[in-house]
Structure 1
Amino acid sequence: MIVLVALIVTAFIISMNTGFIRMSPIEVIQTFFGMGTSKQSLILYQFRLPRIVISVLVGAALAVSGCILQGISRNALADPGILGINAGAGLMVMLFISFFPTTAAAPVYALPLLALLGAGLTAMLIYSLANKRHEGIQPTRLVLSGIAVAAGISAAMIVLTLRLDPNKYQFMATWLAGSIWGANWKFVLALLPWVVVLIPYACYKANVLNALNLGDQTATGLGASVGKDRFLLLAVAVGLAGPAVAVSGGIGFVGLIGPHLARRLVGTKHQLLLPASALTGSFLLIIADTIGRSVLQPSEIPTGIVVAVIGAPYFLYLLARSKA
């Protein structure tokens, strides 16, 4: 975990020096201490730093959300994107953007709440479809239900894009591809409370996740209230994924890759796995965003596409190894 923190700091520094307008490490340090030009201060404080901080927060939120979903479903392929939670949040954001401007101050703070509402309703639908009275939650049924719901929501979103005007259509196309569009401090403040509150709460529930991994009967024997705890942890996963999607668009695979890489580094105990997943997700998203901004300058590749290039082969690898 110390190595992960060092990698994140290194990626943070590299990302601050990367962009259409180059800034050397010395210029970045000078700007931090107030000795840079007004142009350098504008670039660093108003454009790059908010975007990098949002990448850190979104990566941590999506990875911890995926780790929780994998724990409560006992399915290595569970992820907020694959299960349709991201799609539900995206649909609500799309409905809002279709009818209201995105530049006003109020919508900035309302978007996480709207995304949370969409993600929550989607999660409830998936949970009800996957839950059978006498069998409980079956991992395979949960994933299949999520994929089916996500496909239906994605189809609805495509239909909605057909009625948008050209400017909003261009924005939504970029958003759906997974672009960190909320690159200002207002979006940082809108997302920060969810991450600061829910990730520590998830770590507090680490023992419950460890028990759920052993099966419902064993978890009940260890004193866990399986139904209540699973519902609360699902709510935490939704509360992390929904607001993250609101400011980052349809970025997938972070919630899948982050926990798996963390599991290889620190093992399966959630006391270490959850914070390690947060660090891994942050590192992945900073690297992906930096690559997307620098490869085809002055154009930009959406961060979600870069993550998908990394994540899709890994997902196929996990699918090939899965016994479900």
Structure 2
Amino acid sequence: MIHPAIVKKQRLIILVLILLIAATAIIGMGLGTSSVSMNRLLPTILGHGTFKEEFVLFSVRLPRIIVTLLAGMALAVSGAIFQDITRNDLAEPGIIGINAGAGVAIAVFFLFFPIDVGSFVYLLPVAAFIGALLTAGAIYVFSYDRNAGLNPVRLVLIGVGFAMALSGTMIVIISSAERQKVDFIAKWLAGNVWGADWPFILAILPWIVILISFIAFRAQQLNLLSLNDPSAVGVGLKIERERITLLLAAVGLAAAAVSVTGGVAFIGLLAPHLARSLIGPRNQLYLPIAILLGGWLLLLADTIGRNIALPDGIPAGIMTALIGAPYFIYILLKKSS
């Protein structure tokens, strides 16, 4: 049973995060090259804005905000699963090559397959999932030891190696592509939130809702997997089956997120770590906080990035890397000390 004081603390943190998300979203709605002043936001939302104000808000700003929130939430949960099932604080889909695998699949799909405008949006997460799944499978096989099981340190090292190899593969793939398509892939690699339209929300929403609901349902199994194998086996948990099932869910979430945001890394590292430090390691407690933290962090990074160095701004992936890379080094040093 969870102590009532802990539950009260969790609810307070969730309330604060919801307020932060709301404040950041409101600020994001009013900032940009075509600004909608703060005193015009409410009238525009209620349908009393000019054509320009309604277009900027409902066709440009609001879809981008929702896509960014959803992607950040998905990356946070994906990172939490990777860290729990590998028992490695450094495991994160961007760091261990899962996002790079999705990126290669997206590049191949975009450059070499005939694209139908109507189905492209909905096939993109599927293509990303296939690439991410093949990458995750290869990393899992290479880091698994028949006697010792899954080796967490080897998994991260092999994952980093795969990420570098896949980045090189991406360069080879796009080297002979058309200039216009190369520009798209370059923006994807930088973590530019490009899928900022309502159809992209509809494309990724089922993935995120279904998979996060499934993970919430399996929270107790995830708690057991984060312990040691003997403890999990002792309570009757089928370790490999649960690990692979949750790994598939984590890969699906990461693929859905990066299919619309590009190569965003470190959200899956930062959000779970910060959530655990706030409320503890129990999944029922920290996962809701990690979800909100992931959404807010990516929304904040994108809001800041697109409003500095105008008119093009700085991709959200670069902004998250500026924060996440030093934190990654800090964790690495902490683990080695």
Q: Report TM bin, short chain.
A: over 0.9
1:186 aligns with 2:199: yes
* CA deviation string 1:283-319 (max 9, x = no partner): 0001000011111121221110011111111111111
The aligned residue for residue 302 of structure 2 is 289
1:204 aligns with 2:184: no
SS in 1 for 2:328: helix
Distance 2:315 2:153 in 1: 31
Distance 2:257 2:115 in 1: 16
Unaligned ranges ≥5, structure 1: none
1:78 aligns with 2:91: yes
8 Å CA contact 1:5, 1:279 repeated in 2: yes
1:128 aligns with 2:149: no
Q: Structure 1 residues 101 and 42, CA, compared in 2 at 3 Å: closer, same or farther?
A: farther
Q: Percent of counterpart pairs with the same letter?
A: 48
The aligned residue for residue 229 of structure 2 is 216
With normalisation by structure 2, the TM-score equals: 0.94
Displacement after TM superposition at 1:122 (Å): 0.7
1:108 aligns with 2:87: no
Distance 1:5 1:265 in 2: 16
The aligned residue for residue 266 of structure 1 is 279
Distance 1:63 1:141 in 2: 22
Which deviates more from structure 2 when the two are superposed, residues 208-217 or residues 36-45? 208-217
What letter matches 1:10 in structure 2?
A: A
Displacement after TM superposition at 1:25 (Å): 2.1
Displacement after TM superposition at 1:263 (Å): 1.0
The aligned residue for residue 81 of structure 2 is 68
8 Å CA contact 1:11, 1:287 repeated in 2: yes
Distance 2:285 2:200 in 1: 29
Residue of 52, 56, 63 corresponding to 2:69: 56
8 Å CA contact 2:208, 2:256 repeated in 1: no
1:43 aligns with 2:56: yes
8 Å CA contact 1:78, 1:256 repeated in 2: yes
Unaligned ranges ≥5, structure 2: 1-13
Distance 2:335 2:115 in 1: 42
Displacement after TM superposition at 1:323 (Å): 3.6
8 Å CA contact 2:298, 2:320 repeated in 1: yes
8 Å CA contact 2:65, 2:299 repeated in 1: yes
1:24 aligns with 2:30: no
Distance 2:199 2:113 in 1: 18
1:245 aligns with 2:258: yes
Give every structure 1 segment of 4 or more consecutive aligned residues whose post-TM-superposition deviation is greater than 2 Å. 99-103
Distance 1:194 1:39 in 2: 33
8 Å CA contact 2:225, 2:239 repeated in 1: yes
What letter matches 1:295 in structure 2?
A: I
The aligned residue for residue 232 of structure 1 is 245
Distance 1:236 1:100 in 2: 26
The aligned residue for residue 105 of structure 2 is 92
SS in 1 for 2:324: helix
The aligned residue for residue 169 of structure 2 is 156
How many residues align? The count is 324
8 Å CA contact 1:202, 1:274 repeated in 2: no
Distance 2:142 2:288 in 1: 31
Which deviates more from structure 2 when the two are superposed, residues 188-197 or residues 15-24? 15-24
What letter matches 2:150 in structure 1?
A: I
8 Å CA contact 2:68, 2:298 repeated in 1: yes
Distance 1:46 1:22 in 2: 13
